[in-house]
Amino acid sequence: MMEKMLEVADEFYKLPVEEKMKLYSDDPTKTMRLSTSFNVNKEKVHNWRDYLRLHCYPLDQYTPEWPSNPPSFKEIVSSYCKEVRELGLRLQEMISESLGLEKDHIKNVFGEQGQHMAVNYYPPCPQPELTYGLPGHTDPNALTILLQDLRVAGLQVLKDGTWLAIKPHPGAFVINIGDQLQAVSNGKYKSVWHRAVVNAESERLSVASFLCPCNDAVIGPAKPLTEDGSAPIYKNFTYAEYYKKFWSRDLDQEHCLELFKN
């Protein structure tokens, strides 16, 4: 399924430009669009990336607006989305338990979670040292399941002040903790800074699946984690408030969660 997902993503980006341009939009509120960079209308510096952004849950609501070319796109991507959602929810249960919380604690806080997908395409770049595919950022959602193209590396994460390359492995996903898990875990889980670099020789694809708390979910440090007297680092906020703030800023500014501290 992972291979099929990457294949159909590759086929999509190989479609003629005129065909793809029918889906182009730079309006971040659209639930299906092909776009470029990050937030072209707001940003001063653009990134070397195209991306197809889809809402994926509930599937029946959104698949009608998905691309119907390549013809197998809807079927392959729907199956992939279902599996990835199950994986993400299972991970949330395990993360809950690892914090000493009830298995369902995090899932209950996040409510009926939304799911988005970014199918990222990074063309070869003649001067890769001058730009990024995506500059350093954290993901604003709960958690991200990232499928990387096996042909070439590009993802880097910041660890102890150094950017480390995360090479793709056959059959493996990268799981990025997002800002909302950092908030709920009162900072025990860290929403990782990551970026995508580009290269001169090879195009690169990645497929990011984001689980997103429902808009009215009230998010803040889980009560049991502050009962031992440790102070709640973050305020309570709704996911809608957070998401609005995130999209109003540049991608590589300070951690958006800093703005929600006590």
Question: At closest approach, how far in Å is the CB of 118 from ligand OGA?
Answer: 4
Beta-carbon contacts of 130 under 8 Å, excluding residues fewer than 6 positions away, are none
Q: Which of 11, 247 has the CB closer to Ni ion?
A: 247
Q: Report the residue from 92, 96, 120, 180 that binds ligand OGA according to the rule CB under 6 A.
A: 120
Q: Which residue is nearest to Ni ion (CB)?
A: 139
Question: At closest approach, how far in Å is the CB of 210 from Ni ion?
Answer: 8
Q: Report the residue from 52, 95, 125, 134 that binds ligand OGA according to the rule CB under 6 A.
A: 134
Q: Report the residue from 50, 139, 149, 179 that binds Ni ion according to the rule CB under 5 A.
A: 139
Q: Report the residue from 154, 178, 213, 220 that binds ligand OGA according to the rule CB under 6 A.
A: 154
The option from ligand OGA, Ni ion, none interacting with 118 (CB < 5 to 8 A, set by class) reads ligand OGA
Sign of CA dihedral 214, 218, 223, 226: positive
Given a contact cutoff of 8 angstroms between Cβ atoms, the answer to whether 189 and 177 are in contact is yes
Start-end of H helices in the chain: 2-14, 17-21, 59-62, 73-98, 105-110, 179-184, 239-247
Contact call for residue 139 and ligand OGA (CB under 6 A):
yes
Contact call for residue 179 and Ni ion (CB under 5 A):
no
Q: Which residue is nearest to ligand OGA (CB)?
A: 206
Contact call for residue 50 and Ni ion (CB under 5 A):
no
On the CB side of 115, how many CA atoms lie within 13 Å of its CA?
A: 24
Sign of CA dihedral 7, 191, 175, 80: negative
* Per-residue x/- track, 184-223, ligand OGA (CB under 6 A): ----------x-x---------x-x---------------
State the Cα–Cα distance between residues 44 and 152, nearest whole angstrom: 28
Axis-axis angle for helices 2-14, 73-98 (nearest 10) = 130
Tokens of 174: 């990268």
Residues engaged in binding ligand OGA (CB under 6 A): 118, 120, 134, 139, 146, 154-155, 194, 196, 206, 208
